[in-house]
Structure 1
């Protein structure tokens, strides 16, 4: 099946609210049939987001501490618990009409995980899944979190993949509500890793795994 898909890459960290606006605009375009899928690739300014499963009980810092660290706090409509976004982390928001692929959210989430697993494989890092926890793991360390939402089979939200992230921020939460395991970042395993190279690999893996070519468009296209 031929699919009309586009990718928008942002080079500077965005506020979480700006990311939500971009997702909403992309959702409108996909809903209107202007595209089958729009992939947003970006970094966020530091933020904790709370999903539909809750997570405030897993926030270990008070409002004053968050202000000191410059970390925002948002409640969202994605699945999952509390998680962190920040510079040095690839955030992927695939706004895909799954009617053009497969109407199966478990399959879709597995594909998102596979994108990251295959990127890590390029760096000779063996990553995988844990049956109890969504996301991507290197041994017992979580390197990517996943949380999605879908309406009329059109997806929102996506994954956060730690590449060169400040892991001290994770100490202010129980990431995804998980207390027994820690987090990892790609630069723990690959010194001097090139962030933009990892973004490029991520785009390539999306094309392979979702069997679609993603034409690059400017951010202004999303906003029009």
Structure 2
């Protein structure tokens, strides 16, 4: 699908490292004319550690694999039932700064949740989106050759228990929440449409 010259790809459920490698390959191969892309994906259970991640934020050893990445931030958890939106955007070409793109990511989630009458907010000192002091969306980016990799992870309908084995995003005692605690029946197609539309509108208006 193409919207505003942005290609949107639905990748369904993929192993984390396969998508990670594909993001880097795409970024290395792209040029000044390559359209920006949004990838919608879910991952099989995996802990991912940011490039400055501290090992002490893994509280318990489990059978879930731990992968080192080059995104910002500390450790987090991905699994089916979490909607991930990776953004592969040329910031140089769009003349957008990193803080602006982070703000667009946070606002697109806040607007999406508002559609379901859920009040959420961002924190300047701790990127992501929160509801009543609980985190519902994590985000982390990496900039390579002026282009973004990675993106956001919005908890929809997943097993949150593995978050207890880590300090989520490096914050001890941080509780996680998810959309199904507020909206029992979630139309996933509608949610993905809202998320991508809100992001594109924020970015292009």
* TM-score bucket of the superposed structures, by smaller chain: over 0.9
Structure 1 spans left out of the alignment, 5+ residues: 213-224
Greater RCO (CA < 8 Å, at least 6 residues apart) = 1
Residue equivalent to 2:98: 105
Q: Is 2:17 the partner of 1:21?
A: no
Alpha-carbon separation, structure 1, partners of 2:123 and 2:7? 31
Residues 82 and 174 in structure 1, CA contact (< 8 A), matched pair in contact too: yes
Cα distance in structure 1, aligned partners of 2:194 and 2:176:
22
Question: Which structure 2 segments of 5+ residues have no match?
Answer: none
Check whether the contact 1:3–1:36 (CA below 8 A) recurs between aligned residues: no
Superposition pairs for residues 24-35 of structure 1, below 5 Å?
24-29=24-29, 31-35=30-34
Tell me which residue corresponds to 2:37. 38
Tell me if the contact between 1:36 and 1:100 (Cα under 8 Å) persists in the aligned partners: no
Distance 1:35 1:5, change over 3 A: farther
Normalising by structure 1, we get a TM-score of: 0.85
Q: What is the alpha-carbon distance in structure 2 between the residues aligned to residue 127 and residue 24 of structure 1? A: 32
* Contact 2:42 2:82 (C-alpha < 8 Å) held by counterparts: yes
Contact kept, 8 Å, 2:167 with 2:174, in 1: the verdict is: no
Distance (Å, rounded) in 2 between the aligned partners of 1:33 and 1:88: 35
Measured in 2, the distance between the counterparts of 1:9 and 1:177 equals: 30
Deviation at 1:3, TM superposition (A): 6.0
Q: Secondary structure at the match of 1:10?
A: strand
- Decide which of 198, 204, 210 is 2:203's aligned counterpart: 210
Q: CA deviation at 1:169?
A: 1.4
TM-score, L = length of structure 2 = 0.92
Matches within 5 A, 1:65-104: 65-66=62-63, 71-104=64-97
Which whole-Å deviations, capped at 9, do the CAs of 1:188-214 have from their partners, x for residues lacking one?
1111212232112112212211228xx
Q: Number of residues paired by the alignment?
A: 203
